[in-house]
Amino acid sequence: MIYITSMDESYESLLHKAYEQVTEPTEETSRWTYPEPRVTIEGKTTILDNFTDIVSAFRRDPDHLMKYILGELGTAGKLDGNRAIFNGKFEESLINAIITSYVSDYITCSECGKPDTHLVKEGRVQILMCDACGSHRPVRKRKARSEPVGANLEVGAIIEVTIENLSRRGDGVAKIGKNIVYVSKSKPGQTLKVKIVRISGSIIFTERP
């Protein structure tokens, strides 16, 4: 709110005061990034070496992110200092895809696209509250890894998708319902027919037929 102390103040003076009281949106939010996952395989386990750095950037409970990743991988694991250890061998691209999905579900506001959010629980429903624009939405639980991801979404199927954005690795990202579809060598805005080559939970990997 702007308070006028004198009726004799010039228009330019009032305008200057008004600008001083306006909060400029920072560019940090629009350029928000998080550490790129560093994944290594040791024996029969997969190590996410910088788990702590990632969860700190997310400002979320480490157990929440860990439980999400374990559910998507369909495996067991543990936290070990700064690292997360998963039973089994998993490709780095899969870990990246799961973390990207977590950001979409539990970090990014669906209205303004900013990461300035926090989670609250209303009964059994988790709500994502945005501190930037004030919007809120329920967080939908993803399907279990053993469940089918959707009609006609199976390995070998040809599907049509529209690329919405690019992943950190430069792959095109599309969505079918709550499923994330990765398409290599594609650009945002393209509508393509692709072949499903692998499915992991709600993550779908494809190739150009």
pLDDT tens, position by position, 103-114: 988 999 888 888
Is 56 a residue whose pLDDT tops 90?
Answer: yes
pLDDT for 13 equals: 55
Q: Which amino acid is at 88?
A: G
From 34-38, 83-87, 149-153, the region with the lowest mean pLDDT: 149-153
How far apart CA 203 and CA 209 sit, in angstroms, is 19
Using alpha carbons, select from 88, 112, 97, 86 the residue that is nearest to residue 179: 97
How far apart CA 83 and CA 92 sit, in angstroms, is 15
Is 136 a residue whose pLDDT tops 70?
Answer: yes
Give, in order, the Cα–Cα distances in Å from 155 to each of 49, 91, 182: 31, 18, 14
Q: Does domain 39-107 fall into CATH 3.30.70.3150?
A: yes
pLDDT for 152 equals: 73
Percent of the chain with pLDDT over 90: 38
Is 8 a residue whose pLDDT tops 70?
Answer: no
How far apart CA 195 and CA 183 sit, in angstroms, is 9
Please state the domain extents for the chain.
Answer: 39-107, 116-141, 158-207
How far apart CA 187 and CA 184 sit, in angstroms, is 9
Percent of the chain with pLDDT over 70: 79
- In this prediction, residue 31 has a pLDDT band, given cuts at 50, 70 and 90, of low
CATH superfamily membership of 158-207:
Nucleic acid-binding proteins (2.40.50.140)
pLDDT for 32 equals: 81
Give, in order, the Cα–Cα distances in Å from 88 to each of 2, 45, 83, 182, 206: 61, 5, 15, 22, 22
The pTM of this model reads 0.60
Task: Confirm if 37 and 92 have CB atoms less than 8 A apart.
Answer: yes
Q: Do domains 39-107 and 158-207 have the same CATH topology?
A: no
Q: How does pLDDT run across 15-24, given as a tens digit for each residue?
A: 454 444 433 4
